[in-house]
Amino acid sequence: MFQCRPTLGNRHFVVPVEEAYLTIERAKAQCSGLAKRATFALSHKCGKISVVGLDEEHVYFKFHQAAESEDFGKFMIFLKNPDALWFDDYTELVSESGIR
């Protein structure tokens, strides 16, 4: 499942990233088997970035696919931003690590 890209004319369809993540996780909790494998991602100019977790303070992202090979699999932790509508709205990087 993909987060809606921030383009002209789609503002009324946009849901904040963290709200969308929680909605998807609640839906997955009602499913069984293979349906739980669904991934929530953002198709970004630098690659496809999965939203893999959320806690009281942080949002966890991982590159599912990357334009730059060194970014593939990179794991990133940002401070939460309940108003974020897109990956670029996360500006407070806490930590990142790549595949070694």
> Could you read off the pLDDT of 75-91 as tens digits, one per residue?
999 999 999 999 999 99
As a whole number, the mean pLDDT across the chain is 90
Q: Count of H helices and E strands in the chain? A: 1, 5
Measure Cα distances from 76 to 12, 21, 27, 66 in Å.
Answer: 28, 16, 24, 13
Q: Give the pTM.
A: 0.89
- Kind and range of the H or E element at 24? helix 17-29
In this model, does residue 56 exceed pLDDT 90?
Answer: yes
